[in-house]
């Protein structure tokens, strides 16, 4: 089924919006009998569950928390009489990992992939001026033909559990907001912009996609509400005099208002916020508005107490305050596209975002963080699952770009995290993935992927695809930890020397480096897991980064502690956070603040 518009849902003169957030009914369906028993018409259950949220951490019994399989959500929805004649759709911010949507017992949509929105037309089946029944059949199993990759294990008692090939908990459910949207038949479907800056004048190129042949009018308003430019036509250019640029740390935003008109009659109106800025990679520099930037920041997760991976705008606000306090200017949406509200905050605060598609776990291993260091080979890209997986991957890239292409904060696309690149079979796969992003992004942002430990110059077959080389490196943690840290440094330098010798003339950034640290452990002299060792480890890494002029950024792993699958390598989750899961600083936070406050934005620039 074809996805509807990916525009962020907004209410305007012509558009109506109704939130479906709140308590829904929930029913687990371990034997997958729900469909044949008619659950699409409603659920016989006493369990209720909040939306948006992951379902897992509310429950006190382990079977519910670890539930893997089909699970059904349902609620009633009153659709006002006034919505009659409008196009009605249900818009899910994310349904993890696959969903079938029913309205009044009829199937209206199927969607695969748990981290991007979809919008399903329900005009034909919905009843205005009446209660309607919305039912969603979810499934949270992992596979090698969907992103992120993993598998399912069936225990001897018949229960299924998720086995991710990645290092974060398989939080699932209706993780993001759900809306009913009511828009006119003649409507704006999507839009995109491009930027060229000449002195104080900016040319904002735009294209508006509509479901209409009506006249298109596009206006730009500055932050004081003053009209900055106006143009007509589905494609055109807005000339902005004295343009106020979107800058790192100062995210100036213009309001773009798109109107569809039939003579003087307004058919549809949509608005959004854009930032005027250019992005370019030149030699080893990353340029924003032509000026070099050094990335300081984090790999993050959407992860919080109780709500799991559910949208948590309160915590997001806290995260931005902490990132500003510590002197960060960027983050990567490891390992999936985040809630749209996160990008909206980054737009306003002037943060640079590497937007990552959920292509993680592309190394067949449930402890990839360990196996990656050992050089294990799983020939991931040569199995029968590959054609289907590639199709899903390309779809997710298309949806991510469609959703996020107008955010000024997004300056780069990360197309995979730690895939297996040591086998030739990865090459044609990478070709398609990188082509897809280049083809679909109107702003032609740089593309990258995060290289796992064994993706080294003489073994990695795929680094050449990246416009920015992004390394995840754990010298001093997974290899040569503790008293061996001096050897770790040598091994690290030996690898960096090899990269240098290739003379790639591209920027390198570190998208991961980190050491698990329990906030309760202090030790003199340091031991691994202590706060002291985390700082010792970070200092060593920074000494290495600082001695290579082509290293143009550092995003430490991780912003905060986060939940993972249980195992002997994880102590109630991954503890590499610079902040705790409750967003309080470890000692390393103060060390970072000092370092990052002293590094200028154009640190190590070639200018």
Active-site residue numbers?
418, 512
- Which position among 417, 454, 526, 534 is part of the footprint of ligand BDP (CB under 6 A)? 417
Beta strand pairing call for 352-356 and 330-332: parallel
Q: How far is the CB of 419 from ligand BDP (least distance, A)?
A: 10
Name residues contacting ligand BDP, limited to 147-186 (CB under 6 A).
166-167
Can residue 420 be called a binding residue for ligand BDP (CB under 6 A)? no
418 counts as binding ligand BDP under rule CB under 6 A: yes
d(CA 311, CA 340): 9
Nearer residue to ligand BDP within complex by CB, 372 or 551: 372
Cβ(251)–Cβ(349) below 8 Å = yes
Which residue's CB is nearer to ligand BDP, number 501 or number 568?
568
CB of 417 to ligand BDP, least distance (A): 5
Residue 563 CB, shortest distance to ligand BDP, in Å, is 11
- Minimal distance in Å, beta carbon 418 to ligand BDP? 5
Contact present, 149 and 143 (Cβ < 8 Å): yes
Check binding of 517 to ligand BDP (CB under 6 A).
Answer: no
Contact 308, 578 (CB under 8 A): no
DSSP of 157-186, one letter per residue?
Answer: TS-EEEEESSSS----BS-S-EEEEEE-SS
DSSP state of 31: T
Q: Is there a cis peptide before residue 148, judged by omega within 30 degrees of 0?
A: yes
Q: How many residues bind ligand BDP (CB under 6 A)?
A: 12
The sign of the CA dihedral 536, 537, 539, 540 is positive
Which residue has its beta carbon closest to ligand BDP?
369
Segment 574 to 593, residues that bind ligand BDP, using CB under 6 A: 574, 576
Q: Which of 441, 439, 446, 360 is nearest to 401 (CA)?
A: 441
List 56, 278, 368, 565, residue binding ligand BDP (CB under 6 A):
368
Query: Taking the CB of residue 443, how many other CB atoms lie within 10 A of it?
Result: 18
569 is written with which tokens?
């390598």
| Residue 24 to residue 126: CA distance in whole angstroms | 19
Q: How far is the CB of 165 from ligand BDP (least distance, A)?
A: 10
User: What is the smallest separation between the CB atom of 40 and ligand BDP, expressed in angstroms?
Assistant: 36
Q: Can you tell me the distance from the alpha carbon of 448 to that of 357, in angstroms, rounded to the nearest whole number?
A: 11
Q: Which is nearer to ligand BDP, 417 or 448 (CB)?
A: 417
SS3 at position 83: helix
Nearer to ligand BDP by Cβ, of 440 and 571: the residue is 571
Q: Which is nearer to ligand BDP, 281 or 372 (CB)?
A: 372
380 vs 557, beta carbon nearer ligand BDP: 557
Q: Give the nearer residue to ligand BDP in terms of CB position, either 14 or 558.
A: 558
d(CA 181, CA 250): 32
DSSP E strand boundaries for 363-457: 410-417, 447-451
| Nearest of 548, 558, 547, 568 to residue 517 by alpha carbon | 558
Min dist. Cβ of residue 576 to ligand BDP (A): 5
Cα of 569 vs its chain's centroid, Å = 25
Residues 313-352 that bind ligand BDP (CB under 6 A): 335
Among 25, 70, 144, 512, binds ligand BDP (CB under 6 A): 512
Helix axes 531-546, 485-502, angle to 10 degrees: 30
* 566: Cα within 13 Å, side-chain hemisphere: 4
3-class secondary structure, 163 = strand
Q: Any residues with CB less than 8 A from the CB of 602 and at least 6 apart, and which?
A: 291, 292, 293, 294
Least gap, CB of 448 to ligand BDP (angstroms): 14
- The position carrying tokens 């929805």 is 77
Q: What's the CA gap between 336 and 329, in Å, rounded?
A: 20
Q: Nearest-CA neighbor of 187 among 123, 133, 230?
A: 123
Least distance from ligand BDP to the Cβ atom of residue 514, Å: 6
Strand partners for 195? 204
Specify the residue, 25 or 512, whose C-beta has the smaller distance to ligand BDP. 512
Rank residues 316 and 417 by Cβ distance to ligand BDP and give the closer one. Answer: 417
As a whole number of angstroms, the distance between CA 330 and CA 353 comes to: 6
Our CB check for ligand BDP shows the closer of 363 and 397 to be 363
Residue 585 and residue 579: Cα distance in Å, rounded? Answer: 4
The only residue of 472, 517, 531, 563 in contact with ligand BDP, by rule CB under 6 A: 472
Give start and end residues of each alpha helix (H) in 234-385: 313-326, 340-349, 368-374
Per DSSP, what are the bridge partners of residue 260?
Answer: 216, 268
Residue 21 C-beta: closest distance to ligand BDP, Å = 29
Check residue 449 for interaction with ligand BDP (CB under 6 A).
Answer: no
- Which tokens belong to 343? 């990008």
Among 191, 252, 351, 369, binds ligand BDP (CB under 6 A): 369
Nearer to ligand BDP, 192 or 418 (CB): 418
Tokens 């290579």: give the residue. Answer: 548
Least distance from C-beta 299 to ligand BDP, angstroms? 7
Distance separating alpha carbons of residues 48 and 55, to the nearest angstrom: 10
Contacts with ligand BDP, residue ranges (CB under 6 A): 166-167, 335, 368-369, 417-418, 472, 512, 557, 574, 576
């Amino acid at each position: 089924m074809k996805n509807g518009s990916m525009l962020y849902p907004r209410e305007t003169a012509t558009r109506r919006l109704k939130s479906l957030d709140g308590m829904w009914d929930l029913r687990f369906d371990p034997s997958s009998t729900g469909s044949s028993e008619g659950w699409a018409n409603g659920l016989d259950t006493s369990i209720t569950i909040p939306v948006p949220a992951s379902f897992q951490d509310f429950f006190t019994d382990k079977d519910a928390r670890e539930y893997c399989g089909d699970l059904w959500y349902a609620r009633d929805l009153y659709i006002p009489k006034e919505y009659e004649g409008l196009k009605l759709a249900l818009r899910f911010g994310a349904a993890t990992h696959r969903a079938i949507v029913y309205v009044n017992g009829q199937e209206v949509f199927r969607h695969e992939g748990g981290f991007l929105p979809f919008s399903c037309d329900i005009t034909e089946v919905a009843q205005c001026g009446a209660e309607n029944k919305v039912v969603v059949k979810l499934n949270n199993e992992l596979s090698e033909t969907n992103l992120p990759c993993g598998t399912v294990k069936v225990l001897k008692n018949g229960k299924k559990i998720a086995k991710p090939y990645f290092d974060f908990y398989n939080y699932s459910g209706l993780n993001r907001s759900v809306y009913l949207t009511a828009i006119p038949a003649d409507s704006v479907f999507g839009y995109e912009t491009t930027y060229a800056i000449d002195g104080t004048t900016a040319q904002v190129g735009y294209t508006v996609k509509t479901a209409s042949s009506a006249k298109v009018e596009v206006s730009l308003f500055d932050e004081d509400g003053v009209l900055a430019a106006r143009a007509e036509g589905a494609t055109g250019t807005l000339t902005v005099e004295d343009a106020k640029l979107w800058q790192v740390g100062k995210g100036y935003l213009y309001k773009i208002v798109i109107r569809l008109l039939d003579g003087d009659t307004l058919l549809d109106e949509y608005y959004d916020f854009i930032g005027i800025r250019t992005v370019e990679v030149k030699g080893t520099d990353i340029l924003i508005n032509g000026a070099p930037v050094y990335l300081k920041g984090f790999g993050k997760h959407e992860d919080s107490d109780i709500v799991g991976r559910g949208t948590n705008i309160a915590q997001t606000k806290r995260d931005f305050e902490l990132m500003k306090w510590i002197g960060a200017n960027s983050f990567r949406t490891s390992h999936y596209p985040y809630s749209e509200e996160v990008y909206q905050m980054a737009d306003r605060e002037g943060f640079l975002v590497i937007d990552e598609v959920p292509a993680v776990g592309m190394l067949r291993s449930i402890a990839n963080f360990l196996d990656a260091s050992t050089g294990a080979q799983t020939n991931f890209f040569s199995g029968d699952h590959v054609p289907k997986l590639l199709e899903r991957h390309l779809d997710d890239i298309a949806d991510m770009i469609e959703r996020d292409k107008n955010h000024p904060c997004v300056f780069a696309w990360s197309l995979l995290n730690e895939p297996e690149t040591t086998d030739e079979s990865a090459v044609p796969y990478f070709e398609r993935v990188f082509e897809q992003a280049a083809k679909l992004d109107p702003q032609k942002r740089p593309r990258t992927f995060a290289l796992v430990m064994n993706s080294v110059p003489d073994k990695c077959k795929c680094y050449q695809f990246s416009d920015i080389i992004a390394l995840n490196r754990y010298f001093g943690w997974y290899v040569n930890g503790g008293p061996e840290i001096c050897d770790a440094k040598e091994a690290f330098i030996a690898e960096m020397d090899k990269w240098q010798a290739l003379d790639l003339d591209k920027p390198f950034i570190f998208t991961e480096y980190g050491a698990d640290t329990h906030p309760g452990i202090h030790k003199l002299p340091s031991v691994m897991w202590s706060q002291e060792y985390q700082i010792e480890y970070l200092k060593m890494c920074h000494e290495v980064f600082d001695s290579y002029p082509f290293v143009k950024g550092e995003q430490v792993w991780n912003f905060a502690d986060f939940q993972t699958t249980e195992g002997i390598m994880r102590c109630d989750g991954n503890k590499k956070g610079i902040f705790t899961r409750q967003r309080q600083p470890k000692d390393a936070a103060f060390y970072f603040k000092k370092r990052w406050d002293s590094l200028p934005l154009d640190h190590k620039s070639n200018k």
